[in-house]
């Protein structure tokens, strides 16, 4: 890559991605059905939805204003990851009402996991509410977030939490990965 110059690519690869989208794609590959539920926005959201439909994956998205985030990975001799923030106008609780309603109405046998990713668009309380619904409906709740909101979901016994080491450290105000002793303490708290 050269700075201040036009850098031409040798090839490119466009993929519908996202936490729940990836789960639905893998479930389909292994012969399981699922419904991709969440928020999409703009042309990039339409692309994701159409790509899933092309794979015969059922969708039940809620359209919002803005653009679903587009992440760009550049591979040269090194890899660069450019991650956009996506739509940010969801900070009002009423924006989540349709999602929560759909989650409450989902048939238990049709739902095995709910995966959520926390971006700046989401209120931290949203994840606690989703975790509570999943707990009540005996749905396995998987949470992948860099937000400290993950700590508020522990009372609902999430099936799986997927922060990386740096995110775990940040939850506790640390700048480096946690010690084994502290990690063990977190595991006890979650169970």
CATH code of 58's domain: 3.40.1190.30
pLDDT at residue 108 in the model: 56
Where is the domain boundary, 62, 87, 112? 87
pLDDT at residue 161 in the model: 79
Cα distance between residue 99 and residue 35, in whole Å: 13
Give pLDDT tens digits for 119-160. 556 667 788 888 898 888 888 888 877 677 778 888 999 888
Are residues 173 and 159 part of one domain?
yes
Bigger pLDDT: 27 or 144? 27
pLDDT at residue 106 in the model: 72
pLDDT at residue 50 in the model: 97
pLDDT at residue 116 in the model: 54
Weakest-pLDDT range from 8-12, 43-47, 160-164: 160-164
CB-facing half-sphere around the CA of 13: CA atoms within 13 A: 5
The residue among 67, 21, 16, 15 whose CA lies nearest residue 43 is: 67
Q: Print the domain residue range for 103.
A: 89-191
* Cβ pair 34, 56 in contact under 8 A: no
Give pLDDT tens digits for 30-89. 999 888 888 888 999 999 999 999 999 999 998 888 888 888 888 888 888 888 777 765
Are residues 122 and 30 part of one domain?
no
Are residues 97 and 174 part of one domain?
yes
| DSSP state letter for 106 | S
Are residues 177 and 103 part of one domain?
yes
Where is the domain boundary, 56, 71, 87? 87
Bigger pLDDT: 115 or 62? 62
Beta-bridged to residue 40, according to DSSP, are: 63
Are residues 21 and 5 part of one domain?
yes
Bigger pLDDT: 2 or 181? 2
**Phi/psi-derived region of residue 123, left when phi > 0, alpha when psi is between -120 and 50, beta in every other case:** beta
Domain count, the chain: 2
pLDDT at residue 88 in the model: 62
**In terms of DSSP H, where are the helices of the chain?**
19-29, 42-54, 97-105, 124-136, 150-153, 165-171, 180-190
């Amino acid at each position: 890559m050269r700075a201040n110059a036009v850098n031409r690519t040798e090839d490119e690869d466009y993929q519908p991605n996202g936490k729940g989208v990836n789960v639905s794609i893998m479930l389909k590959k292994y012969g399981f059905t699922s419904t991709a539920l969440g928020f999409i926005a703009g042309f990039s959201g339409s692309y994701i939805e159409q790509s899933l439909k092309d794979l015969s994956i059922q969708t039940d998205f809620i359209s919002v204003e803005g653009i679903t985030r587009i992440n760009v990975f550049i591979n040269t001799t090194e890899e660069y990851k450019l991650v956009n923030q996506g739509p940010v106008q969801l900070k009002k609780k009423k924006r989540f009402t349709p999602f929560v309603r759909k989650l409450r109405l989902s048939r238990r046998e049709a739902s095995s996991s709910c995966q959520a990713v926390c971006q700046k668009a989401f209120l931290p309380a949203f994840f606690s509410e989703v975790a509570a619904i999943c707990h009540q409906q005996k749905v396995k709740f998987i949470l992948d977030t860099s937000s400290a909101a993950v700590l508020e979901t522990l009372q609902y016994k999430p099936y799986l939490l997927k922060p990386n080491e740096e995110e775990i450290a940040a939850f506790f105000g640390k700048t480096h990965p946690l010690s084994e002793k502290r990690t063990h303490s977190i595991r006890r708290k979650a169970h």
